[in-house]
């Protein structure tokens, strides 16, 4: 798949026509990062958008005592740093490669030139930012209003829906889930066993399959 065709699969660019995609295909540059490498540090200058072309990355906050909170796990076609296309503020989190990864990098100045040439590009960005904000609102609400099993159920349903099917392709370890929802790995493991015993999920080659979505959705709506 050439770069322009790949960009057509990315939410931020999928509404653009072929000509505009070709322009962006010429502007982005591909960079490779080995597993475990830091792609961005919190407070780094924000001057570019990154799109995952291959591999997986995690967006994290690190506390002073070394504890890690995962804000998101991004795989092929997903992106981060879109706020840098608008403002000049520093990065708000670390981004680390979870496996060998290839990223497309779009500089802010190049993006702004395309916006000036075609305002529909800006509308595409606003639509994507709106989607991200709605999702963030839902995540914040679940952290405040749900117990740990409810948060896990919400995360599983949302992740499966993002993939468009019952099989969650992202490799989600219990430790990773714990870092995302703010719980201990032991509590996550206990809840996941209960979900399996109830027939709500199954595991397939380290992947998770949703086998009873309705039950998970109901569990994700039970408030504390």
Integer CA distances (angstroms), 20 to 30, 168, 215, in order: 19, 32, 43
Structural contact between residues 215 and 198, judged by C-beta atoms closer than 8 angstroms:
yes
Q: Residue 30: its pLDDT value, please?
A: 96
pLDDT digits (tens, 9 = 90+) for 186-208: 999 999 999 999 999 998 877 89
Residue 40 burial by Cβ neighbours in a 10 Å radius (0-12, 13-18, 19+): buried
What mean pLDDT is predicted for residues 58-66? 83
Contact 49, 81 (CB under 8 A): yes
What string of DSSP letters covers 147-200?
Answer: -HHHHHHHHHHHHHHHHTSSEE-S---HHHHHHHHT--HHHHHHHHHHHHHTTS
* pLDDT digit string, tens, across residues 148-174: 999 999 989 988 887 788 988 777 889
Contacts of 208 (CB under 8 A, 6+ apart): 156, 167, 168, 172, 201, 202
Q: Which domains does the chain have, with CATH numbers?
A: 3-127 (2.60.120.10), 138-220 (1.10.10.10)
CB 83 within 8 A of CB 9: no
Q: What is the pTM of this model?
A: 0.72
**108-155: per-residue pLDDT in tens?**
999 888 888 888 788 877 777 777 777 776 666 666 778 999 999 998
């Amino acid at each position: 798949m050439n770069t322009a065709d790949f960009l057509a699969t990315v939410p931020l660019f999928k509404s653009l026509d072929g000509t505009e995609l070709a322009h962006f295909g010429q502007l982005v540059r591909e960079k490779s990062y080995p597993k475990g490498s830091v792609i961005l540090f919190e407070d780094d200058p924000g001057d570019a958008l990154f799109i995952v072309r291959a591999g997986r990355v995690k967006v994290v906050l690190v506390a002073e005592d070394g504890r890690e909170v995962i804000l998101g796990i991004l795989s092929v076609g997903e992106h981060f740093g879109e706020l840098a296309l608008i403002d000049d503020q520093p990065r708000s989190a670390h981004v680390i490669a979870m496996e060998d990864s290839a990223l497309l990098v779009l500089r802010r100045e190049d993006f702004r030139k395309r916006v000036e040439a075609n305002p529909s590009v800006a509308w595409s960005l606003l639509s994507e930012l709106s989607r991200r904000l709605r999702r963030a609102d839902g995540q914040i609400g679940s952290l405040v209003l749900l117990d740990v099993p409810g948060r896990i159920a919400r995360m599983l349903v949302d992740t499966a829906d993002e993939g468009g099917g019952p099989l969650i392709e992202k490799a989600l370890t219990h430790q990773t889930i714990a870092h995302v929802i703010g719980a201990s790995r032991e509590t996550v493991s206990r809840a996941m066993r209960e979900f399996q015993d109830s027939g709500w999920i199954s595991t397939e080659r380290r992947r998770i399959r949703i086998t009873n979505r309705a039950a998970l959705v109901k569990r994700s709506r039970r408030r504390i």
